[in-house]
Structure 1
């Protein structure tokens, strides 16, 4: 039996009072790489926000990394997010501190206290994304692709069970997108589960994987046709 990292049953996703997605049922198993596709406004972001506790799950059932989304309390959310690695389109790095300090800020915020362990963990995750020598640089001194690599490293800090990447290549040129995608592929090969929202169909063709689509208020798996 494969471990289930995310499961939704007949879930309805709301943005305030308006229904965005209905009757959502899906499973993601440990170690899978899954794309989430759909037009702008189709509900991808609302779907992602529900998974990390930004929007409450009002109807249906949802379990993610052993948390029940239906009964999730406000003070459970930080603990849920420690088990998730979240990568945003716009990097969300703190501009007033260097990369190492950005990483240490997250570790302190999530309860780490041992300085030596923290420094070691920062080096470990930066090495995984090929940024080990850039820790002393500030975000504005890095290219977009480098900043996104750092954002991926930051998502790995707490050894997450699931990485949620929301349009991680959305602000990058095609060549840089491929480089960032290679980093995500490596992380997935090392056994991590990744759910990635994307508009970039060229990447999906280049790196085929299970694909789910938001369309007409529904979420369903897309069968990939052989090219």
Structure 2
């Protein structure tokens, strides 16, 4: 397996025939932590959706975790998403079941069948994000920051090579954002690649990393100013 986890060459991204991003070329290597910044409507979410195959890639060449985005079949999408963990701004936890059963639902949906293995996996990922003691609570019984930790645990269930975090701190206060960011930093330190779309420039200053900006239909690397 190559060191490249994501490669885009001359990619253009469209939403309903409208060009959002044009002629994008980008390589991401295993173990990198990359910020994706830009104003609302600049194309961050469209890029993310293309990476997890919610938008079809119709122009250019793209591979992600060894899947070819240009030739990807509908039947392959579940297998792609097992190798990618996705963290959303609004958590997307199922409100009618406990934290444990939220994670169990994902494991069963992605092909796990052995109950002991599922229990062990859920315990492991909840422990890694500091949420093991809350396994039997309902989502409404825990805070927003705790819900996002659970969402990160859910993203880790299938031991993904790459985590796409789309505004993961967007609904959180500054202190809670830092706590969630610390969790993501630990995951990255353990070798997982993370691409994080964000508006939170305070986090960029506190945890500097390679930064890509969407602007004017293009993506380019920006050098962060240090204080």
Contact 2:61 2:70 in 1 (8 A): yes
In structure 2, the residue matched to 1:121 is 121
Matching of residue 11 in structure 1 with residue 11 in structure 2: yes
Q: Normalising by the residue count of structure 2, what TM-score does the alignment of the two structures yield?
A: 0.99
Distance 1:190 1:140 in 2: 30
Residue 169 in structure 1 maps to residue 154 in structure 2:
no
The number of residue pairs the alignment matches comes to 227
TM-score normalised by L of structure 1: 0.99
2:82 is matched with 82
Q: Deviations over 1:83-120 (max 9, x none)?
A: 00000000000000000000000000000000000000
Say which SS state the counterpart of residue 6 (structure 2) adopts: strand
Structure 2 runs not aligned, ≥5 long:
none
1:108-163 deviations in whole A, cap 9, x for unaligned?
00000000000000000000000011000000000000000000000000000000
Match of 2:136 in 1: 136
Question: Do residues 47 (structure 1) and 23 (structure 2) align?
Answer: no
**1:159 corresponding residue in structure 2:** 159
Matched residue of 1:120: which SS? helix
Give yes or no for contact 2:205–2:226 (8 Å, CA) kept in 1.
no
Alpha-carbon separation, structure 1, partners of 2:121 and 2:13: 36
Aligned counterparts of 1:62 and 1:223: Cα–Cα separation in 2: 25
Moved over 6 A (4+): none
How big is each residue's C-alpha offset from its partner over 1:56-105, in whole Å with a ceiling of 9 and x where there is no partner?
A: 00100000000000001111111100000000000000000000000000
State the SS of the aligned residue for 1:56.
coil
Counterpart for residue 197 of structure 1: 197
Task: Extract unaligned runs of 5+ from structure 1.
Answer: none
Q: Please give the secondary structure, in 2, of the residue aligned with 1:117.
A: helix
Distance 1:119 1:43 in 2: 38
Find the residue that maps to 1:34 and give its secondary structure: strand
Cα distance, 1:226 vs structure 2: 3.1
Q: 2:117 aligns to what SS in structure 1? A: helix
Distance (whole Å) between structure 2 residues aligned to residue 173 and residue 26 of structure 1: 32
8 Å CA contact 2:33, 2:210 repeated in 1: yes
